[in-house]
Structure 1
Amino acid sequence: MTQFSEHQLIDWRRELHSWPELSGREVETTARLRRWLQDAGLRLLDYPLETGVVVEVGRGDTLIALRADIDALPIHEATGLTYRSRNSGVMHACGHDVHSAVMLGAALQLKAIEEQLPGRIRILFQPAEENATGARQLINAGVLDGVQAIFGMHNEPGLPTGTFATRGGAFYANADKFIVRVAGKGAHAAHPEEGVDSIVVASQIIQALQSLTSRSFNTLDSLVLSVTRIDAGKTWNVLPGEAEFGGTVRTHDKQVRAELEQRARTLVENIAAANGATATFSWHPGPPVLENDARWAQFASHVAQQVGYRVQTAELHLGGEDFAYYLQQIPGAFVSIGSASEFGLHHGGFNPDEALIAPAAHYFTQLAQQALQHLNARCRDAILN
């Protein structure tokens, strides 16, 4: 039944890997995808998008969507592969090149059986997932109009090749960013008593924030707060008057998310005040918690078993994923497929097993067909009842 060459999909993946582009700048990536899809006879849909591609296969009123993401990360590649990135400082360190190859394969296979499809499949090659703006761009452009269910994937380096995992309900986390700016009083490093040391104040706040998550919330809540950068001072003998640091907060519960933001803000302002400084706490919401529809997650797992995957229930994931925005609009399921990389996502040595690509393409072909059949059957039952 396979209507594509596995070698072709791997070649396409490697070409995408060699020429990665950052979020919102996927111009050449878009051109390559458009060319490959047009050459295969796919029907490209015209949406007002600067980057990204949307195609559709099939006929009829019943409509589902499949999604791949296409952007890369500002990471220097350290794999040593012959097809490593040729764009310095940019790398497909999250496997979006793999996801694109999977959905290219599904598109080609679905096109080969287009006349037998009991409906339409809209396939989204989405830009700008890494900065969490791409899904909303596509939604605002109207790509979900008429879509009744949506499915997507992420490769999972911690799972062996041939393994599949998903779960109903909360899956990926709320992924929020925070920035703290501390204003003290600069002074000569030899006379700290004449100033208010912004570095010391920032350090106290950072330590307190780490204790906040472990001592002010239930240990069974899934949450993490990580400080990922700090900037203060320009030279060795001056106490800087200002310091800034920032990081991320990951949660799965909306109430925990809101409470953590408020508690962190209060902590930051009060510790600064206690030291004679002032501090501002800014919170920047990222993609919300990704909540799979329980029935579609079970359906997706059932199809995975049919095509030969080792299926398991996914653990809660603390990564963020802008596929969550689609699931706020329509039901569907996001799934993990094992990629067996020694190094994890967002690492310069990340190297997923390309053997996952062809089976995953076949899986999404089967999932799309069976989802259309399921929706048609549900519609018939509703009419009869």
Structure 2
Amino acid sequence: MNISDNNLSALQNKLVQMRRELHEHPELSLEEFETTKRIRSWLEEADIPVVDYPALQVGVIAEIVGNQPGPTIALRADIDALPIKEQTGLPYASKTDGKMHACGHDFHTASMIGAALLLKERRKDLKGTVRFIFQPGEEVAAGAKVVVAAGALNGVEAVFGMHNRPNHPVGTIGVRQGPLMASVDRFEIDVIGVGGHAGIPNNSIDPIVTASLIVSGLQSVISRNISSLHNAVVSVCRIQGGTAWNVIPDKVTLEGTVRTFQQEAREAIPQLMKRMAEGVAAGYGARIDFRWFPYIPMVNNDAKFTEIVSEAATELGYKIVEAEQTLGGEDFSVYQEQVPGYFVWMGTSGIEEWHHPAFTLNEDALAVSANYFSHLAIKVLEEWT
């Protein structure tokens, strides 16, 4: 679907205004009440039907029903911001201190609204229904689960989405079938010893020394227990223990994350970590309490959509590149557990990576993304029928 230069320019201006308004008013995960009102208002002003799901307190679901019968597919955008103090110096920087759209979800939201506006004008070409999911709570890996539990994925045959990619130029779309983003899990380990006087350590069981050795030992779980052909990371990101400089504490807590691309590695790692930590602790007379919190699976793109996802880009004159994998996580994967789906990188010519306080992007990508996803939706429904 090639839109005229005039229409493209008008759309671009509208989407820039939306994106900047969202950027000025960021809201954290599952608190996106005003963001929800704004999205709903913009859709209703354009006569795009919003579908109410009583269990969904934040987030917006909308649908465009084509003039011809067919299946339902979904296009998804996330809407939440991060607890980061903005340092961009932009005239439309966050007006809420300590909160910022530092991952570009304002861009995702505005560009998917743009796709909805374009599809509304092409209803006659739609052989089915396109459901738009403006999802809350991606940053805490909870929003997609909320959407699914609310029933907003019911009846959907396939789902498509994207994330902005600062290191790709505007007009570039990253495509990769199979695993794209890693599964994400969290762990906590309490190392329990016996506290005492720092000057008489022989009367104590020092959990700090034990915890330090466990941190080092956890790295061997990957290097010596997981196949070198697999991709996995164990990161300890928090160590907490002790209350004074001269007191050995009785407990140290370790917290961190595990990222994997292979399900067999994901299933094996918790027991390997627990066994290693127990062994080290026992050697020093301590004990552990190991807790594992599964979060989200990996983003795994369905191979049957690779060709059409690529064709949709090249037909519009955009450049396709192979999307590089990342051990970052994305709860788009929760939808892919329910229905087949595909997730792409959208080039935005940014100067900083995700979650940086000076994160920004080239807004020319807004119309590119809107044009791409509206065209993709039409193509997918055409081929489906």
Aligned residue in 2 for 1:8 = 14
Match of 1:54 among 61, 64, 77: 61
* 2:103 corresponds to: 94
Specify the SS of the correspondent of 2:58. Answer: coil
1:129 matched to which residue of 2? 138
Q: What amino acid is aligned across from residue 231 of structure 2 in structure 1?
A: S
Query: 1:59-105 CA deviation, whole Å, 9 max, x = no partner?
Result: 33421110000011122222222222222222111111110011010
State which of 30, 34, 41 in structure 2 corresponds to 1:35. Answer: 41
Query: AA paired with 2:29?
Result: S
Moved over 4 A (4+): none
Q: Aligned-pair distance for 1:297? A: 2.4
Aligned AA (1:206): V
Are the aligned partners of 2:70 and 2:127 in contact in 1 as well (CA < 8 Å)?
Answer: no
Distance in structure 1 (CA, Å) of the matches to 2:307 and 2:206: 55
- For 2:306 and 2:119, how far apart are their aligned partners in 1? 22
The answer as to whether partners of 1:66 and 1:121 remain within 8 angstroms in 2 is: yes
> SS of 2:35's equivalent?
helix
Q: Residue 114 of structure 1 is aligned with which of 97, 106, 123?
A: 123
Shift of 1:201: 0.9
Q: Is the 8 A contact 2:70 2:381 kept in 1?
A: no
Whether contact under 8 Å (1:170, 1:291) holds in the other structure is yes
Single out whichever of 113-122 and 6-15 deviates more from structure 2: 113-122
1:182 is matched with: 191
State how many pairs are aligned. 376
Give a deviation string over 1:276-320, Cα, whole Å, max 9, x none. 111111111111012111011221111111112211222222111
What stretches of structure 2 of length at least 5 have no aligned partner? Answer: none
| Letter aligned with residue 47 of structure 1 | Y
2: CA distance, partners of 1:52 / 1:346: 22
C-alpha separation in 2, matches of 1:115 and 1:301? 24
- SS of 1:158's equivalent in the other structure is coil
Distance 2:240 2:84 in 1: 20
Instruction: Note if contact 1:297-1:334 (Cα within 8 Å) is conserved in structure 2.
Output: no
Q: Which amino acid aligns with 2:151?
A: G
Which 10-residue stretch deviates more, 166-175 or 43-52? 166-175
Partner AA of 2:13 in structure 1: H
Residue 54 of structure 1 aligns to which amino acid in structure 2? I
- Which has the larger displacement, 213-222 or 25-34? 213-222
Q: Which amino acid aligns with 1:202?
A: A
Normalising by structure 2, we get a TM-score of: 0.94
CA contact (8 A) 1:223 1:249 kept: yes
So what's the TM-score if we normalise by structure 1?
0.94
Q: Identity, % of aligned pairs?
A: 45
Partner Cα separation in structure 2 for residue 317 and residue 9 of structure 1? 28
SS in structure 2 at match of 1:5: helix
State the secondary structure of the residue aligned to 2:257. strand
Which residue does 2:323 correspond to in 1?
314
Q: Secondary structure at the match of 2:311?
A: helix
CA contact (8 A) 2:170 2:349 kept: yes
> Shift in Å at residue 206 of structure 1?
0.3
Q: Is 2:190–2:252's contact at 8 Å kept on the other side of the alignment? A: yes
1:106 alignment partner AA: A
* C-alpha distance in 2 between matches for 1:181 and 1:158: 39
Which blocks of at least 5 consecutive residues in structure 1 are unaligned? 377-385
TM superposition shift of 1:347: 1.8
- Residue 170 of structure 1 and its aligned partner are, at CA, apart by 1.6
Amino acid paired to 1:302:
E
Structure 1 partner of 2:75:
66
Aligned with 1:212: secondary structure?
helix
CA RMSD of aligned residues (A): 1.4
Partner of 1:204, secondary structure, is helix
Quote the Cα distance in structure 1 between the aligned partners of 2:141 and 2:93.
25
| Residue from 326, 331, 338 that aligns with 2:347 | 338
Structure 2 equivalent of residue 293 of structure 1:
302
1:209 to 183, 194, 218: 218
Instruction: Check conservation: 1:102, 1:360, Cα contact below 8 A.
Output: yes
Structure 1 match to 2:29: 23
Letter paired with 1:37: L
For residue 364 of structure 1, give the secondary structure of its aligned residue in structure 2.
Answer: helix
- SS of residue in 1 equivalent to 2:181: coil
What's the counterpart of residue 367 of structure 1?
376
Q: Distance in 1 between matches of 2:169 and 2:222?
A: 32
